[in-house]
Amino acid sequence: MRVKKLSLVIFLFTIFLVFSLAVQAADADLIAHYQFEGDLTDAESNFSDFKVTGDRIFNSGGKINFGQGKNGQAAVFDGSSGLFLAENLIDDYSYSIAFWLRADTINQFTTTFFAGLSDQESGIESWISFVPQGPSGRTMLWSGNNWYDADGNFKIPEDQWVHLAAAVDQGEVHFYINGTEHFRGSDFPDVFSEIEAKFALGVNYWDNPFEGKIDDLRIYDQPLTAEEVAELAAGAEKIEVKAETKVELDPQSVSVHDPMIIKENGSFYVFGSHLAAAKSEDLIEWKQVSGDWDASNPIIPNPEEELQETLAWPEPDAESTWAKSPIKIRAKDTNKYHLYFSSAHWESERSNISLAVSDNIEGPYEFDRILIRKYEEGQYSREAGENFRHQKHPGVIDPHVFYDKNGRLWMLYGSYAGGLHLLEMDEETGYPENYNPETGYLEEGSGYGKKLAGGGHSPIEGGYILYNPETDYYYLYMSFGTLAADGGYNIRVARSKNVDGPYLDPQGTDLREYDSGSWADAVNYGAKLIGNFVFEKSELGYLSPGHNSAYYDQSSGKSFVIFHSRYPGQGEYHQVRVHQTLFNQKGWPVITPHAYNGESLSAVSGETAVSGEKISGSYQFVNHGRNIQNGYKEINYSEEIKLNADGSISGEVRGSWKLIDDYFAEITIEGETYYGAFISQFDRGLAKEVMTFSALSDKGVTVWGSQY
């Protein structure tokens, strides 16, 4: 994974083990609020007052009165006047705008809220406009950059109060009318980052002024969620938000970013970014083997010197190494431990995957060679035999080297860019089969391997493939989103009968079809197994869990996912987590709600289809959904439900449940059925054993329950 520099100093982080899960009335991220209660002031006192203009944004004259509004008073626009505000109310690529309006008359192109710049001398046409009647004849959020139409597919009526809102997040745009989403799209222009924008109500540079009323204008410096917009449209004075949550860290865990697992000599090891590594005998208690990127690191001593060649490939030079893949090569004349890793820099388009070798699992490893390279856009790629294209060719980081069920060796790799790719490896050397040791490159024009998922800069990385002999499927685990606490990392899965695909999700969609950079489109691909959540009763939860590895234990038949996660209230600090994966009635993995503590699947009760004895009771319920979440704003907080002895579900969600055979679960919520399992687990927050369930729908949505 692509680890920020702050990870290098993460061990200096001071941990405060404090809990807080209160709900408070607050308008988080509200930077300007114009209520028009007889004046034009900002109730947040961050910006100057509106100034009255004439019939265009810079014309003098004009008059604004106040009349009965949606909430108290409102600004009254007479069709010949407008309001002008100082510059830079919004100055970045993530924001929200919300207000009430009541149009006396609706004319085509007339604006209500206008922001941006139109300058004939410089040729700048960078603006947005809320228009009751746009070019299509319908209400829309309109942008002058490339004429982007966020069409609401609906024309608001005259003489009625209507709530309009838009949320923009790095190109993803949502447009709402009366609290309902009417448009969702990607690639919305970055209007405000590079200009000193002008802001106005009721007027712009060209069109007839607005006639009607505007009330309760709010500007936020973050994208509001659909739920928050709905609150405003329902008349909320303030958005009710969760206070910052601090989740206790696990004293038995360690900090290894992008943990890739290997079992050797009876012990489990995880190797991660930089030169972090850790060791465990039971997957529960971990001990740090290495951490700091310095000369004394036992994995690769003197890394700046030892890895000079690979660090120099990016421009500027890489400052560390990223995700690693450890494996013991089985060839008789090799019997070496190979550590595959990536070198990259946040400011460089170039990266590579390299190899280090050791006789000992714990090192020291010696640099062997660079294996695969990524180039700048348009630079000639020897591997591809053509100029490098980021939308087509893979990001050369995040390797996973593994054996398939027939003993063939493969490398999976990739990040964003052209998607996840699979290369067959030479089992004797541990190099790609198409690698030429004389040139130090893949054979010219031989390619980067076979694409398995993504492309078009879709937000997928950290791929891992694991074969399960009980289901006879290969499972492709992936992380969608990005790694930071507010990056929305989440783990998804697809499966195939063949190691080289095609990999399909529960809906039967080939993951190669996700070939756009739109985060909004992610809802359509992969089974989402885990994302941001909080169990409120237990005071436990994760932010951006991701870059997992996976392990199948042949002796016990247990399967696990191993990943790093950040935590509510803990900033960018991260720890390793291990969760058991169970396989449902349809052969799909589901992740257990709590970290592994030695539990095993066992019969919940006899052979009855529904048992109230062990399962019935009160549960914390989480629906993980399918979207990529913004960490600070979009956490799936648990809801309180009851699984009743008669097989019904009551509380904040309603439905039914069944116990099938010994432990399989069927959970039906609002007509959607989820398939999974019941298992007793240790709840670290409540410090007791509880019954849990984890289940997955045919639409790729995971639900969890944890008794309390």
The answer to whether 542 and 487 are in contact (CB under 8 A) is no
**What strand order describes the sheet that includes 51-53?**
51-53, 82-85, 198-201, 113-119, 124-131, 140-143, 148-151
Three-state DSSP class for residue 512: helix
User: CB pairs under 8 A, 24+ apart, for 300-309?
Assistant: 300/275, 300/356, 300/363, 300/364, 300/365, 300/366, 300/367, 301/363, 301/364, 303/275, 306/356, 306/366, 306/367, 307/343, 307/354, 307/356, 307/367, 309/367, 309/370
Of 588, 493, 526, 489, residue with least CA distance to 258: 489
Handedness of CA 8, 14, 18, 24 (dihedral sign): negative
| Cα angle: 28, vertex 640, 663; to 5 degrees | 130
343: burial class by Cβ within 10 Å (0-12, 13-18, 19+)?
buried
d(CA 546, CA 491): 6
d(CA 708, CA 618): 6
Share of the chain residues as helix, strand and coil, in percent rounded to the nearest 5: 5, 45, 50
Beta strands in 469-573 (DSSP E): 473-480, 490-496, 527-530, 533-535, 540-552, 559-566
Of 128, 122, 91, 99, residue with least CA distance to 217: 99
Whole-angstrom distance between the N-terminal and C-terminal Cα of the chain?
35
- CA torsion 183→187→189→190, rounded to 10°? 120
Tokens of 407: 């003993």
- The residue from 398, 461, 505, 539 that is catalytic is 461
Count of C-beta atoms within a 10 Å radius of residue 193: 11
CA 579 to chain centre: 19
CA 635 to chain centre: 11
d(CA 410, CA 429): 12
The answer to whether 511 and 454 are in contact (CB under 8 A) is yes
- The residue from 42, 215, 228, 258 that is catalytic is 258
Active site residue 258: yes
438: burial class by Cβ within 10 Å (0-12, 13-18, 19+)?
exposed
418: burial class by Cβ within 10 Å (0-12, 13-18, 19+)?
buried
Active site residue 427: no
* Burial profile 624-642: b = 16 or more Cβ within 10 angstroms, e = fewer: bbbbbbbbbbbbbbbeebb
Count of C-beta atoms within a 10 Å radius of residue 54: 17
Beta strands in 138-283 (DSSP E): 140-143, 148-151, 161-169, 172-177, 180-185, 198-201, 211-220, 240-242, 260-264, 267-271, 277-280
d(CA 493, CA 525): 9
Active site residues: 258, 461
